[in-house]
Amino acid sequence: MTIAIIQERLKSYQCLNLQEEDHALREITQEVILAGLARTDFFKYAQFHGGTCLRIFYGISRFSEDLDFVLEKPVEHFQLEKYLTASLKELSAYGFKFEVVDRSKTNNTVKKAFIKDNSIGKLLELKYIKPDRSSKQIKIKIEVDTNPPKGAIATTRYLTFPFPASITLHDVNSLFAGKLHALLCREYIKGRDWYDLIWYLSTKKEVNYELLNAQIAQSGEWKGKGQEVSKKWCFDQLKKKAANINWDSAILDVRPFIKKQDTASLDLWSKDFFISIIDDYLE
């Protein structure tokens, strides 16, 4: 019956094309991995954050690729593979045959691993993925920051699929801080960041400025420069960024991660659009 649970979950997505079916399979896999980690003591030490966290627990409409975590406090010799191996064994009952590939380096503070599955697509009734693609590998990248900046606020939310599980994650104000740090400090333009920004601004979320200050001090253009991050400074910098972006490239990045019916809004993307919605948020 466990594979039937996965099949029903896939059916609930009401996918309209191959791209949506691919994303649905990935997201189902992400939830299964999260639930598996919750059966260990992983969330005693780590907190879920990033775009997939925003998607699964706060309902943003775009799909996301990776699972990002940060430890509550620094741990020098954190072993990510140990948790992944322990948590994923029992999940084979759901039709997944996971392989863990640890890409962590001893001296890196961010631990990385990939979880791969070649099996689930062969067991499900898929509407758009063709039979010759049914063995397509699902690959999820997992990252854990073992040297976290101070100031994040944790909260607890619950998964009910594939079984009830308690997940520790950043609250939405801390997630907003992380997104602003990415927007201000990422060395390349990622349209998905700007798509997420629209959600934060339109829902009038507050920013955890204590966390954002720590993030700005720890990495990026202003690292170690003693920059005081105020609301005015933050959004002034963001408007400067918006004025110098190639919006065609940003749209190309985000388009594959949203449903077809949502793509019309991308026609609005421009310097004037983003400056306007930032100003509306600040009023």
pLDDT of residue 1: 58
The predicted-structure confidence for 152-197, as pLDDT tens digits, reads as follows 999 999 999 999 999 999 999 999 999 999 999 999 999 999 999 9
CB 262 within 8 A of CB 280: no
pLDDT of residue 134: 46
Amino acid at 45: Y
Angle among Cα 85, 90, 96 to the nearest 5 degrees reads 85
What is the fold of 2-170?
Nuclear Transport Factor 2; Chain: A, (3.10.450)
What pTM value is reported for the model?
0.94
pLDDT of residue 89: 79
Residue with tokens 């758009």: 128
Three-class HEC string of the chain: CHHHHHHHHHHHCCCCCHHHHHHHHHHHHHHHHHHHHHCCCHHHHEEEECHHHHHHHHCCCCCCCCEEEEECCCCCCCCHHHHHHHHHHHHHHHCCCEEEEECCCCCCCEEEEEEEECCHHHHCCCCCCCHHHCCCCEEEEEEEECCCCCCCCEEEEEECCCCCEEEEEECHHHHHHHHHHHHHHCCCCCHHHHHHHHHHHHCCCCCCHHHHHHHHHHCCCCCCCCCCCCHHHHHHHHHHHHCCCCHHHHHHHHHHHCCHHHHHHHHHCCHHHHHHHHHHHHC
pLDDT of residue 279: 98
CB 169 within 8 A of CB 47: yes
- Distance from C-alpha of 1 to C-alpha of 170, rounded to nearest angstrom: 34
Q: Which residues contact 215 (CB under 8 A, 6 or more apart)?
A: 149, 177, 178, 181, 185
Where in the chain are the domains?
A: 2-170, 174-282
CB 169 within 8 A of CB 155: yes
- Distance from C-alpha of 74 to C-alpha of 70, rounded to nearest angstrom: 9
- For 57-91, letters b (16+ CB in 10 Å) and e give bbebebbbbbbbbbbeeebeebebeebbeebbeeb
Identify the bridge partners of residue 160 per DSSP, sorted by sequence position: none
Reference 219, options 141, 170, 147, 152; nearest CA is 147
pLDDT of the chain along its 283 residues, tens only? Answer: 589 999 999 999 999 999 999 999 999 999 999 999 999 999 999 999 999 999 999 999 999 999 999 999 988 788 898 899 888 877 788 889 899 998 887 678 899 999 999 888 888 888 988 756 545 679 999 999 999 999 999 999 999 999 999 999 999 999 999 999 999 999 999 999 999 999 999 999 999 999 999 999 999 999 999 999 999 999 999 999 999 999 999 999 999 999 999 999 999 999 999 999 999 999 9
- Distance from C-alpha of 35 to C-alpha of 42, rounded to nearest angstrom: 11
